Amino acid sequence: MSAPFQDVTVLSLAEQLPGPYATLLMADLGADVILVERPGIGDPARAFPDFFASVSRNKRSVCLNLKHAEDKSAFLELVARADVVLEGYAPGTAARLGVDYESLRKVKPDLVYASISGFGQTGPYRSRPAHDISYQAIAGVLADQAKHPGKTPELPLGDMSAAMYAAWAIAAALFARERTGNGTFIDVSVADGLVSWMSTLLVPVMNGGSIVNVTESPGYGNFACADGGVLSLSIAHEDHFWRALCGVLALQDVAALGHAQRVEAAHTLRPRVMEGIREKPLAYWASVLDQHGVPWSPVHALEQVARDPHFQVRGLFAHVVAADGKPQMHIRQPVHFSAYPPLPLTRVPALGEHNTDLVGRKAS
């Protein structure tokens, strides 16, 4: 095998973000991911070409109208040759189209079928429409932010966590199928995934315990430098990291304070840390903090991330020639396998580009 998912075929009926990112993870590891898109418009995310491109490399595209008998028949022929179907419709939609798990397992008995939805296939919220911020809200992710209203989160944590749970669950189901010969239905809820990610906060609360207070530590947060640069310090509960920082900032009078004491005195300690960091430029701190073993990182603007030498050495970025002949930068699969080299990246498919190859006729 040249890739972990070699010879695995995935049909994707999912649009926007969670499903496409899940299938991107699989495509980057060798799966043949076929986007089954609506004729004429395809995935609505195509209206935002750069966004669509970010999750659509290494895939193929066919256009099929699942409400039309001929296209439905072509889709079922693809199902018969596939290993996985992933859909991201609202609960009940796949059944109405006749492409739900119970219908498709008659065509492919050992099919692995995954559904990604906001609140899952069951429960009183199953039909409630929502976007990522609402899933974060109900899972408790925004509880602290609600006390200090401000800018809403930019990273769609719910969508990304659901995508990773879906990819992980599909991989687990394929592994189980190798041993048992059985397919399965997978119900992935965006909200459920976020609740699971909140385990270290929710479990203590549910059991009447206490939460490890990290963010209130005076050595944890973002700090402005003399030249306008910003760095993050990530001293959580570790006393030795705090002592190292105090040595750098000449705060020996508070170096012996333990975590609980630091949190209690944060209102006086944090301004002292801020003042110390403000005295020197970012380049100075980059050298000194590394030298003294203080956990930190620069706060990059988005355009700085791809220029960071660490990520470049890690081989995280690659150029792909787009359909218009222009180079387009993409982010590689971030997990390294010693047994498998990184696969070459292929460009984002045009809408219905592979209809002739896969269903024997051009896209309508």
Q: Which of 32, 71, 100, 159 is catalytic?
A: 159
103/15 Cα distance (integer angstroms): 21
**Helix axes 190-197 and 157-180, enclosed angle (nearest 10):** 100
Q: Is 159 a catalytic residue?
A: yes
Tokens 């993870």: give the residue. Answer: 25
Which residues contact residue 124 at a Cβ distance below 8 angstroms, ignoring those fewer than 6 apart? none
Q: Which two tokens stand for residue 258?
A: 């333990």
Per DSSP, the three-state class of 308 is coil
Tokens 């499903």: give the residue. Answer: 19
Which residues contact residue 179 at a Cβ distance below 8 angstroms, ignoring those fewer than 6 apart? none
Q: Which two tokens stand for residue 126?
A: 């199953």
| Contact indicator for 322, 7 with CB cutoff of 8 Å | no
169/184 Cα distance (integer angstroms): 10
- Which secondary structure element, helix H or strand E, spans residue 225, and what is its range? none
Tokens 């209203």: give the residue. Answer: 149
Strand pairing report for 59-63 and 32-37: parallel
- Report CA-CA distances (Å) from 208 to 59, 134, 150, 205: 48, 26, 30, 5
> On the CB side of 362, how many CA atoms lie within 13 Å of its CA?
2
Helical segments of 115-238, H only: 132-138, 143-147, 157-180, 190-197, 199-206
Tally of CB atoms within 10 A around 21: 21
- Checking phi first, is residue 52 left (phi over 0); if not, alpha (psi -120 to 50) or beta? alpha
Residues marked as catalytic = 159
